Amino acid sequence: MRIEKFNKPVDVTLDLYDMQQQWNEFRRQVIDDLAEDDFVGKMKQSLREIKQYYEGLDFSIGDSLFDEDSINGSMNLMDTLSSHLGQIMQEIQVMMSGEKSDIYGDHMQDALDDLKTYMTSLQDALIDVAELEDEIYQAYLDGWDDIQDGLQD
């Protein structure tokens, strides 16, 4: 019971970020509906999504990067996961010293399983951010290619 209560806020945050990704996909397809050659718009989309990992949820419907009408949350996935991993490591250190953990008792394997689960979640989030950064870079390169093609014509 203590373990579930300990993990619940992080699990809720992960669920909310799954919903955020679904919203982002919907927004890309329906709300933004960018033209193939709208490189600045594509970069703004990816940048907005990167910001969500570090600054919190953003279910905005406007086209501004800093939309005042957005429905924003204060949950920050990267900080939440990093903090939780740090707390799990502290509990593991307590158990390794021969004492009982306040959260895991003497169930080291449960702590190790949680550590692996949330480390994988953090790694997945970092991969998502890297992919978004690649999208920004690709949109930038596509924009320059388009400019060069225009100059050659």
| Cα–Cα distance, 109 to 104 (Å, whole number) | 9
Q: How many residues does the chain have?
A: 153
What pLDDT is stored for residue 108 in this prediction? 94
Q: Are 66 and 60 in contact (CB under 8 A)?
A: no
Q: Give the domain range for residue 36.
A: 2-152
Q: How far apart are the first and last CA of the chain?
A: 68
Nearest-CA neighbor of 77 among 20, 6, 136? 20
Tokens of 16: 């909310």
Please identify which residue in the block is written with the tokens 């008792």.
105
Taking only the tens place, the pLDDT of each residue in 56-107 is: 877 766 554 444 444 444 568 888 899 999 999 999 999 999 999 999 999 9
Mean pLDDT of 46-60: 82
- How many Cα atoms occupy the beta-carbon half-sphere of 147 within 13 Å? 8
Q: Are 134 and 42 in contact (CB under 8 A)?
A: no
Q: How many domains does the chain have?
A: 1
What pLDDT is stored for residue 151 in this prediction? 83
| Percent over 90 (pLDDT), the chain | 41
More confident residue, 34 or 107: 107
Beta-bridge partners for 72:
58
More confident residue, 113 or 56: 113
Tokens of 90: 């502290």
